């Protein structure tokens, strides 16, 4: 798993990594609580979407439901603004 930082909003040391959404776009996701951010700016200002909660209630944007995403690999980030960030690997 690629990751960029510890989740700033998780109580149990979650890590934030890139995911490929159902529509093919890249977002950031906390591996602990399922929070999703579309941009780094969203994370820094706590504009997040709770993907796990949306799945539990069966509503919301299906692109954000956990069963529609997968962890991104380096090749998924090529040619995107995310490619230039300093990713760590587990």
Q: How many domains does the chain have?
A: 1
Going by the DSSP 8-state scheme, the letter that residue 34 receives in this structure is -
* Higher pLDDT pick, 36 / 10: 36
Q: Would 85 be classed as within a structural domain?
A: no
Residue range 29-73, pLDDT digits in tens: 888 877 888 888 887 787 777 655 444 434 455 555 556 678 999
Is this model's pTM higher than 0.85 or not?
no
Determine the structural domain holding residue 10 and report its residue range.
1-63
Q: Which among 42, 40, 39, 32 has a CA at the least distance from the CA of 66?
A: 32
Q: Would 21 be classed as within a structural domain?
A: yes
Q: Would 26 be classed as within a structural domain?
A: yes
């Amino acid at each position: 798993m690629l990751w960029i930082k510890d989740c700033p909003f998780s109580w149990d040391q979650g890590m934030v990594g890139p995911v490929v959404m159902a529509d093919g776009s890249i977002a950031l996701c906390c591996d602990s609580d399922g929070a999703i951010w579309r941009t780094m700016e969203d994370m820094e200002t706590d504009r997040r979407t709770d993907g796990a909660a949306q799945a539990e209630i069966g509503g919301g944007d299906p692109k954000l439901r956990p069963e529609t995403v997968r962890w991104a690999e380096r090749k998924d980030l090529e040619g995107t603004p995310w490619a230039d960030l300093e990713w760590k690997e587990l």
